[in-house]
Structure 1
Amino acid sequence: MKSFYEIEDRPPLGTSLVLALQHMLAAFGAIIAVPLVVGGVLGLAESTMVSIVSAALLVSGIITIVQCLGLGPVGIRMPCVMGTSFTFVAVAIAIGQEHGLSGILGSALGGSLVMIIGSQFMVQVRKLFPPIVSGTVILMIGISLVPVGTDWFAGALPGSAEYGALSHLMIGLIVAVVVITLNRRGSGLF
């Protein structure tokens, strides 16, 4: 696949703004989706959900700035949006059901420390994870998210009167068709 621009190229301002908006919208959706999924499954109060989403956006912004500009030895100094990850959704839900929100936050803190230390040994650790292992992990993450995607496609919480209503299913189908069509037939940049 040929890239439109090389690393040192500067696209025109209009193109840069459109690409920046696209990148921001994609990142924004992903950043807020994880707290909404975890909080929704755990049945957290609306005020708590607002706080969690706000915290995710704030931390994402701060860490994105650190990654882009660098802070001492930290940061790749390239445009890279940092945000939440669906990788830990199933684990966060399991911990949250047993220990609540404080258990999730404590586990995230402990896991972060392990990752910071482990990042010093990535070259050695990478040999333990060939593509078949990485691919299997990514597949399992996707499979674990199928029930959430199904509920969102149906437009409401399972058990509610609106769950699976024809209007919700049609909106989901139209969105899926548009996304697949643009992905398969789109010209690339625009």
Structure 2
Amino acid sequence: MFPHVTGGYMSRPEPHPVDARPPLPKLTLLGLQHMTIMYAGSVAVPLVVGSALKLDAATIALLVNADLLVAGIATLIQAIGIGRIFGIRLPVVAGATFTVVNPMIMIASQYGMQAVYGAMIASGVFGLLIAKPFAKMIRFFPPLVSGTLLMVIGISLIGPGVGLIAGHDTGSPDYAKPANIALAFGVIAVIVLFTRVLRGFASQIGPLLALLIGLAAAVPMGLVSFKGIADADWFGLASPFHFGPPTFPIAAVLSMCVVMLVTYTESTADLVAVGEITGRPATDSDLARGLATDGLSAILGGAMNSFPDTAFAQNVGLVQMTGVRSRWVVAMAGGLLVLMGLVPKVGAFVAAVPEPVIGAVAVVMFAMVAAVGVQNLKKVEFSGNHNTFIVAVSIGVGLLPAFATNRFGNSIFFQHFPAWLQTVCGSPITVAAIVAFTLNLLFNHLGKRREPDLLQAP
């Protein structure tokens, strides 16, 4: 194929939608939309860890700022890339993973915060070393496995969405207040309306518009407080190793390395999904660069008092819903996150958005991830084989930890098992990945693939 020639001049071919750069005003609004949707999930990790360890308010604020800064840097790297080493160069938003919460609390209680961040740095180095070999396993994530995992990711995240809408303490008299639920349902209704009637760019920022309308509706309901903006500082960058020089207890390092393996499993499903959605499927080299960025985020997090990052599923759902595939939009979101990490007043304004509003938008995004999983499963042949059985068992077993959680949203299904097993199996995504991966090998790769009595389609 030759470049198109017009009037004696060769015109450049249109860039792939992933590489296209919208005009600055559109770029900023679309980036703001990505950033707003991931904000609550990302800052929840430092808030939960800080509360569990009884840290003072100033220290928790420091953790939040550091979390946003590192998430912004990781998001920029994922979108733009650094040579052939880091960044998948797809619209991937990075944010703190909840997988790290329980191990961090246990390590801090036993060894102190210096050990937490020392172990995190060590796990990041481990992640860099295994990124390429782990990425080679992408061939074991066919649509049967990846589609199942995406369904589990989307469905399991509905639980945290419920917590945002109804509240986190089921024993509180304010839990599931009708006003909060009505507000959330109203925001969802606005998203549906905008998706149906808006066209073009207005349709693409529909979730952001719905969020702003929800914020406006929440003000007279008394759900919005701007006090935090006045109290927040203008500059909030914490010095590296705020808690002191890192230490490296063997047990803590091993625990965080297990966390890195779990993070890689979660990220793999999301990165593969983004590649499919954008029409630029991730190769094993692409995946290796994306996973290496997760490892790098753990090293940065260990130095900057933050947390390891993973690809955020709700932003995968946003890409699917809006059809905006530009990685530069996500790069803008990363830049905004860095700004929020450096200027706490900006973060405080976003934090003023009530949880029921954030939760309503998040639930739609989570469900979109599950819908992407359904789309992947449409590519699977279900006649004359055990693939239906594999999907059923993987979803059923994988979701067990998702429906037994404490008030922090962490799974307690395996609470009486060894700590390392709780780390691995506390994530529904990891459990589903192990089951789907194993069953796919057992039924589709080892021995006879098809039973004689199953060759006829029903």
Higher relative contact order (Cα pairs below 8 Å, separated by 6+ residues): 2
Matched residue SS, 1:163: coil
- Which residue is 2:190 aligned to? 178
Tell me how far 1:54 sits from its aligned partner.
Answer: 1.1
AA aligned opposite 1:172: A
Q: 1:185 to 1:162 in 2, by over 3 A?
A: same
Matched residue SS, 2:65: helix
User: Could you give the per-residue CA deviations for residues 52-88 of structure 1, whole angstroms, max 9, x where no partner exists?
Assistant: 2211111123334445555454334857564215xx4
Q: Identify which range, 173-182 or 20-29, moves more after superposition.
A: 20-29
- Which residue is 2:159 aligned to? 147
After TM superposition, list the pairs within 5 Å mapping 1:3-152 onto structure 2.
Answer: 6=17, 9-36=20-47, 38-39=48-49, 42=52, 44-45=54-55, 47=57, 48-67=59-78, 70-71=81-82, 73-76=84-87, 78=89, 80=91, 82-85=93-96, 88-89=97-98, 91-96=99-104, 98-100=106-108, 102=113, 105=117, 108-122=120-134, 124-152=136-164
Consecutive unaligned residues of structure 1, counting only runs of 5 or more, are none
* TM-score, length basis structure 2: 0.33
> Percent identity of the aligned residues?
28
| C-alpha distance in 1 between matches for 2:194 and 2:117 | 38
Indicate if the aligned counterparts of 1:66 and 1:74 stay in contact, CA closer than 8 A.
no
- Which residue is 2:276 aligned to? none
Q: 1:114 to 1:70 in 2, by over 3 A?
A: same
Q: 1:84 to 1:15 in 2, by over 3 A?
A: closer
2:178 is equivalent to residue 166 of structure 1: yes
AA aligned opposite 1:74: I
| C-alpha distance in 1 between matches for 2:151 and 2:70 | 28
| C-alpha distance in 2 between matches for 1:166 and 1:12 | 41
| C-alpha distance in 2 between matches for 1:95 and 1:21 | 32
Q: CA RMSD in A?
A: 3.6
| C-alpha distance in 1 between matches for 2:171 and 2:53 | 14
Larger Rg: 2
| C-alpha distance in 2 between matches for 1:44 and 1:175 | 34
- Which residue is 2:283 aligned to? none
Q: 1:109 to 1:10 in 2, by over 3 A?
A: closer
Indicate if the aligned counterparts of 2:46 and 2:64 stay in contact, CA closer than 8 A.
yes
Tell me how far 1:126 sits from its aligned partner.
Answer: 1.0
Matched residue SS, 1:189: helix
AA aligned opposite 2:35: M
**Greater share of helix:** 1
Matched residue SS, 2:164: helix
* TM-score, length basis structure 1: 0.68
| C-alpha distance in 2 between matches for 1:77 and 1:145 | 24
